[in-house]
Chains A and B, each alone.
Chain A
Amino acid sequence: AQSVSQHNHHVILSEAASLELGCNYSYGGTVNLFWYVQYPGQHLQLLLKYFSGDPLVKGIKGFEAEFIKSKFSFNLRKPSVQWSDTAEYFCAVMGLGGSQGNLIFGKGTKLSVKP
Protein backbone atom coordinates (compact mmCIF):
# COMPACT_ATOMS: atom_id res chain seq x y z
CA ALA A 1 0.00 0.00 0.00
CA GLN A 2 1.06 3.55 -0.63
CA SER A 3 1.68 6.03 2.16
CA VAL A 4 3.03 9.55 2.42
CA SER A 5 4.59 11.23 5.42
CA GLN A 6 5.24 14.91 5.83
CA HIS A 7 7.65 15.65 8.61
CA ASN A 8 6.57 19.10 9.66
CA HIS A 9 3.11 19.80 10.96
CA HIS A 10 3.51 23.58 11.20
CA VAL A 11 6.32 25.75 9.86
CA ILE A 12 6.62 29.42 10.76
CA LEU A 13 8.92 31.64 8.72
CA SER A 14 9.58 35.30 8.19
CA GLU A 15 9.29 36.80 4.74
CA ALA A 16 12.33 36.23 2.52
CA ALA A 17 13.35 33.14 4.47
CA SER A 18 14.05 29.95 2.54
CA LEU A 19 11.61 27.07 2.72
CA GLU A 20 12.02 23.33 2.61
CA LEU A 21 9.15 20.99 3.40
CA GLY A 22 9.91 17.32 3.74
CA CYS A 23 7.97 14.51 2.10
CA ASN A 24 8.71 10.81 2.09
CA TYR A 25 6.63 8.12 0.48
CA SER A 26 6.32 4.39 0.74
CA TYR A 27 5.56 2.33 -2.34
CA GLY A 28 7.38 -0.54 -3.97
CA GLY A 29 6.89 0.44 -7.58
CA THR A 30 6.95 3.43 -9.88
CA VAL A 31 5.22 6.53 -8.61
CA ASN A 32 4.17 9.93 -9.74
CA LEU A 33 4.60 12.65 -7.16
CA PHE A 34 2.76 15.88 -6.54
CA TRP A 35 2.65 18.90 -4.30
CA TYR A 36 -0.63 20.70 -3.76
CA VAL A 37 -1.35 23.95 -1.96
CA GLN A 38 -4.53 24.89 -0.15
CA TYR A 39 -4.93 28.57 0.67
CA PRO A 40 -7.20 29.38 3.61
CA GLY A 41 -10.79 28.52 2.79
CA GLN A 42 -10.00 27.35 -0.71
CA HIS A 43 -9.66 24.14 -2.62
CA LEU A 44 -6.46 22.32 -3.50
CA GLN A 45 -4.35 23.58 -6.36
CA LEU A 46 -1.53 21.75 -8.05
CA LEU A 47 1.88 23.34 -7.41
CA LEU A 48 4.07 20.90 -9.30
CA LYS A 49 4.38 17.28 -10.31
CA TYR A 50 7.03 14.73 -11.13
CA PHE A 51 6.48 11.93 -13.62
CA SER A 52 9.91 11.10 -15.00
CA GLY A 53 13.11 12.68 -16.29
CA ASP A 54 14.87 15.53 -14.51
CA PRO A 55 14.36 14.90 -10.78
CA LEU A 56 14.33 18.63 -10.09
CA VAL A 57 10.96 20.00 -11.10
CA LYS A 58 9.81 23.57 -11.10
CA GLY A 59 6.29 24.64 -10.38
CA ILE A 60 4.25 27.76 -10.11
CA LYS A 61 5.03 30.73 -7.86
CA GLY A 62 8.73 29.96 -7.60
CA PHE A 63 8.36 26.55 -5.97
CA GLU A 64 10.49 23.58 -6.90
CA ALA A 65 10.87 20.03 -5.66
CA GLU A 66 13.54 17.38 -5.94
CA PHE A 67 12.83 13.70 -6.32
CA ILE A 68 15.49 11.53 -4.67
CA LYS A 69 14.60 7.97 -5.52
CA SER A 70 17.09 6.39 -3.14
CA LYS A 71 15.56 8.28 -0.24
CA PHE A 72 11.95 7.96 -1.38
CA SER A 73 11.73 11.70 -0.92
CA PHE A 74 10.16 14.62 -2.75
CA ASN A 75 10.93 17.75 -0.77
CA LEU A 76 9.43 21.10 -1.66
CA ARG A 77 11.59 24.20 -1.70
CA LYS A 78 11.34 27.91 -2.27
CA PRO A 79 14.33 30.27 -1.94
CA SER A 80 12.39 33.23 -0.56
CA VAL A 81 8.87 32.96 0.83
CA GLN A 82 6.25 35.69 0.81
CA TRP A 83 3.38 36.40 3.15
CA SER A 84 1.03 35.22 0.40
CA ASP A 85 2.57 31.74 0.61
CA THR A 86 0.77 31.19 3.91
CA ALA A 87 -1.22 28.03 3.25
CA GLU A 88 -1.43 24.30 3.83
CA TYR A 89 0.88 22.20 1.65
CA PHE A 90 0.17 18.60 0.76
CA CYS A 91 2.49 16.06 -0.76
CA ALA A 92 0.76 13.29 -2.72
CA VAL A 93 1.76 10.10 -4.46
CA MET A 94 0.09 8.01 -7.09
CA GLY A 95 1.42 4.50 -7.55
CA LEU A 96 1.47 3.17 -11.08
CA GLY A 97 0.43 -0.28 -12.13
CA GLY A 98 -2.45 -2.50 -11.09
CA SER A 99 -5.19 -0.69 -9.25
CA GLN A 100 -2.85 1.75 -7.59
CA GLY A 101 -4.27 4.70 -9.42
CA ASN A 102 -5.43 6.59 -6.39
CA LEU A 103 -3.85 9.84 -5.28
CA ILE A 104 -2.78 9.44 -1.67
CA PHE A 105 -2.01 12.53 0.40
CA GLY A 106 0.25 13.23 3.33
CA LYS A 107 -1.21 14.91 6.41
CA GLY A 108 -0.16 18.33 5.22
CA THR A 109 2.19 21.02 6.50
CA LYS A 110 0.82 24.35 7.55
CA LEU A 111 3.09 27.23 6.51
CA SER A 112 2.71 30.56 8.27
CA VAL A 113 4.76 33.44 6.88
CA LYS A 114 5.17 36.50 9.07
CA PRO A 115 5.22 39.82 7.21
Chain B
Amino acid sequence: DTAVSQTPKYLVTQMGNDKSIKCEQNLGHDTMYWYKQDSKKFLKIMFSYNNKELIINETVPNRFSPKSPDKAHLNLHINSLELGDSAVYFCASSQGVGTGAFFGQGTRLTVV
Protein backbone atom coordinates (compact mmCIF):
# COMPACT_ATOMS: atom_id res chain seq x y z
CA ASP B 1 0.00 0.00 0.00
CA THR B 2 1.34 3.39 -1.00
CA ALA B 3 1.44 5.79 1.95
CA VAL B 4 1.42 9.02 -0.07
CA SER B 5 0.26 8.77 -3.64
CA GLN B 6 0.23 11.43 -6.32
CA THR B 7 -1.37 11.44 -9.74
CA PRO B 8 -0.36 11.85 -12.42
CA LYS B 9 3.31 10.87 -12.30
CA TYR B 10 4.04 12.77 -15.51
CA LEU B 11 2.21 15.76 -16.91
CA VAL B 12 3.05 17.52 -20.17
CA THR B 13 0.93 20.51 -21.11
CA GLN B 14 0.99 23.74 -23.06
CA MET B 15 1.47 27.20 -21.67
CA GLY B 16 -1.72 28.85 -20.55
CA ASN B 17 -3.50 25.64 -19.63
CA ASP B 18 -4.96 24.85 -16.23
CA LYS B 19 -4.02 21.57 -14.57
CA SER B 20 -4.43 19.74 -11.29
CA ILE B 21 -2.28 17.30 -9.38
CA LYS B 22 -3.92 15.04 -6.85
CA CYS B 23 -2.45 13.78 -3.61
CA GLU B 24 -3.79 11.29 -1.13
CA GLN B 25 -2.28 9.90 2.06
CA ASN B 26 -3.51 6.86 3.95
CA LEU B 27 -1.38 7.38 7.04
CA GLY B 28 -3.95 9.30 9.04
CA HIS B 29 -1.63 12.31 9.20
CA ASP B 30 -2.92 15.74 10.08
CA THR B 31 -0.47 17.76 8.01
CA MET B 32 0.11 17.72 4.29
CA TYR B 33 2.54 19.69 2.13
CA TRP B 34 3.35 20.58 -1.43
CA TYR B 35 6.96 21.05 -2.42
CA LYS B 36 8.47 22.15 -5.72
CA GLN B 37 11.81 20.72 -6.82
CA ASP B 38 13.46 22.68 -9.58
CA SER B 39 15.99 21.54 -12.15
CA LYS B 40 18.81 22.13 -9.67
CA LYS B 41 17.15 19.77 -7.19
CA PHE B 42 16.28 22.61 -4.81
CA LEU B 43 13.22 21.73 -2.72
CA LYS B 44 11.02 24.63 -1.81
CA ILE B 45 7.91 24.42 0.30
CA MET B 46 4.83 25.83 -1.36
CA PHE B 47 2.02 25.09 1.06
CA SER B 48 1.27 23.25 4.24
CA TYR B 49 -2.19 22.33 5.43
CA ASN B 50 -2.88 21.33 9.00
CA ASN B 51 -6.35 20.57 10.28
CA LYS B 52 -8.16 22.98 8.00
CA GLU B 53 -5.54 25.69 8.37
CA LEU B 54 -3.78 26.50 5.14
CA ILE B 55 -0.39 28.11 5.43
CA ILE B 56 0.57 29.79 2.21
CA ASN B 57 4.11 30.54 1.18
CA GLU B 58 4.06 34.15 0.11
CA THR B 59 6.49 33.59 -2.72
CA VAL B 60 4.12 31.20 -4.51
CA PRO B 61 2.16 32.88 -7.34
CA ASN B 62 -1.56 33.01 -6.77
CA ARG B 63 -1.98 30.91 -9.92
CA PHE B 64 -1.29 28.00 -7.58
CA SER B 65 -4.18 27.04 -5.36
CA PRO B 66 -4.29 24.08 -2.99
CA LYS B 67 -7.57 22.40 -2.26
CA SER B 68 -8.20 19.99 0.58
CA PRO B 69 -11.58 18.23 0.47
CA ASP B 70 -10.65 16.25 3.58
CA LYS B 71 -7.70 15.48 5.83
CA ALA B 72 -6.42 12.73 3.55
CA HIS B 73 -6.28 14.78 0.37
CA LEU B 74 -4.44 17.91 -0.69
CA ASN B 75 -4.73 18.67 -4.39
CA LEU B 76 -2.82 21.34 -6.26
CA HIS B 77 -4.48 23.35 -8.99
CA ILE B 78 -2.43 25.52 -11.30
CA ASN B 79 -3.94 28.17 -13.57
CA SER B 80 -2.38 29.69 -16.66
CA LEU B 81 0.68 27.48 -16.66
CA GLU B 82 4.02 29.10 -17.52
CA LEU B 83 7.30 27.63 -18.73
CA GLY B 84 8.87 28.34 -15.35
CA ASP B 85 6.37 26.07 -13.66
CA SER B 86 8.15 23.06 -15.12
CA ALA B 87 9.48 21.10 -12.16
CA VAL B 88 8.84 18.05 -10.04
CA TYR B 89 6.09 18.59 -7.48
CA PHE B 90 6.14 16.48 -4.35
CA CYS B 91 3.31 15.94 -1.95
CA ALA B 92 4.15 14.95 1.62
CA SER B 93 2.44 14.32 4.91
CA SER B 94 3.41 14.23 8.56
CA GLN B 95 1.78 13.67 11.91
CA GLY B 96 2.33 16.79 13.93
CA VAL B 97 5.50 18.78 14.02
CA GLY B 98 8.80 17.07 14.33
CA THR B 99 7.88 13.65 13.05
CA GLY B 100 9.45 13.97 9.64
CA ALA B 101 7.50 13.76 6.45
CA PHE B 102 6.60 10.96 4.09
CA PHE B 103 6.87 11.92 0.46
CA GLY B 104 4.94 10.88 -2.59
CA GLN B 105 6.64 9.74 -5.78
CA GLY B 106 6.46 13.17 -7.33
CA THR B 107 4.77 14.60 -10.41
CA ARG B 108 7.06 15.75 -13.19
CA LEU B 109 5.34 18.72 -14.81
CA THR B 110 6.62 19.89 -18.18
CA VAL B 111 5.15 23.04 -19.68
CA VAL B 112 5.83 23.47 -23.40
Residues of A within 8 A of B (CB): 32, 34, 36, 38, 42-46, 49, 51, 88, 90, 94, 96, 99-105, 107-108, 110
How far apart sit A96 and B104, CA to CA, in the bound complex (Å)?
Answer: 24
Contact of B45 with A104 in the complex, beta carbons under 8 Å? yes
B90 touching A102 by the CB < 8 A rule?
no
| B100, CB-defined interface residue at 8 Å | yes
CA distance A44 to B45 in the complex (A): 14
Chain A neighbourhood of B106, CB < 8 A? 43
Beyond A38-B41, A96-B97, list 6 extra A-B contacts (CB 8 Å). Answer: A32-B97, A34-B100, A101-B31, A102-B45, A103-B92, A105-B43
In Å, the complex CA distance between A49 and B100 comes to 7
| CB contact list, B62-112 vs A, under 8 A | 90, 92, 94, 96-98, 100-106
A99 near B100 (CB under 8 angstroms)? Answer: no
- Measured CB to CB, the residues of B under 8 A from A are 31, 33, 35, 40-45, 48, 50, 55, 90, 92, 94, 96-98, 100-106
Smallest beta-carbon distance B102→chain A, Å = 8
Taking a contact as CB atoms under 8 Å apart, the answer to whether A110 and B48 are in contact is: no
Do A110 and B104 touch across chains, with their CB atoms under 8 A apart?
no
A44 to B, closest residue via Cβ: B103
A-side contacts of B35, CB under 8 Å: 105
Most chain A CB neighbours (cut-off 10 Å) among B33, B50, B100, B105: B100
Alpha-carbon gap, A100 to B45, bound state (A): 12
- Which of A32, A38, A90, A102 contacts B33, CB < 8 Å? A102
Asked whether B100 lies within 8 Å of A101 as measured between CB atoms, the reply is: no
Chain B residues near A32 (CB-CB < 8 A): 97-98, 100
Q: How far is the CA of A71 from the CA of B108 in the complex (A)?
A: 37
Name the CB-closest residue of A to B53.
A99
Q: For the complex, what is the distance from the CA of A43 to the CA of B108, rounded to whole Å?
A: 11
- Give complex CA distance A107, B42 in Å: 5
B37 to chain A, nearest CB (A): 9
